[in-house]
Structure 1
Amino acid sequence: MLNKSIFFSKIPKYIYHKDKTPYFTSPKEMTLVQSQYELFSYGVLIGSIFSFIGLAAFLNYKSSNEILYVAWMIISFMVLVSIHFTIKKGLMLCCVLISIAPSIVVSHLIYDQLIGDKNFVKMVLLSTLLMILIKYGIRLIKIVYFQNSKSNLIERQ
């Protein structure tokens, strides 16, 4: 019984940490540390996905020499650079790019489903994922906006 209580007393520290997991905090109420942690975790997730997309495009370009794969490599590189500038400099244009990029990929998958086999379950799941990505993208834009406004207030004082 004692081990169980020790185990469950440690769980909230890993599930919810005030600074490292601020996902239930409003962007307006976030501190700079909280916003940096959230931007970093989103950057790692999206960066790893677009790194794999860029690597797959590079390997396919090596074997087929199609120009479409060069476009995917450029887009992946732009997203990775935008992640860096969003986290380090707080540039709003880069934040908009990393907010929209996953939605564009999911929209492309939805388009392929509309043209292709038109599976209803896949369409519902992809549409739900698209709505979640758009909502979270808006949250990221708000986070960077409020982060920039807070850093401007700190510089003025």
Structure 2
Amino acid sequence: MGDSNTQEIIKEYILLNQNQIYRLAFSYVHNKDDALDIVQESIYKAMAGKRSLHKSDSVRPWLYRIVVNTALDFLRRKKREAVPHEDILLRGESAADDRYEDIDLKRALDSLPDMYRSVVVLRYFEDLTLEEIAGILNENLSTVKTRLYKSLKLLRVEMSEAE
């Protein structure tokens, strides 16, 4: 695939799927500005790394991998920089644009470790197959299945405690 052809394919995919890409970033950070920053950085990384998209690859899992990794890097940086009460302030922000409006579910998802939350968000909110998730997270399929099972078990416990 030529560089200009690859770039056009990526640009077209981003334009057609910008809401889903934003929603994926937002599901990690729960903040409009941070989600937009992650999307912008992800697009930059995608364009800079367009050679890593091979003809046999689908743009969707390739780009989602970039967004997920960028969001996780952002959260790690933020955790290192965070002051004690900042987390409480961020959780109080309005999630009006978030389609995951169930507060108990949001809290339960937030309580999951990143590796488990990623699997749940990609499977149930982004409707990706387990094989696509394995590619995005750069894990083997059995690891993804195990994490999904463990995530659902943890969510059941968290949700039942919230009732």
Q: Which has the larger radius of gyration?
A: 1
TM-score, normalised with respect to structure 2: 0.26
TM-score, normalised with respect to structure 1: 0.27
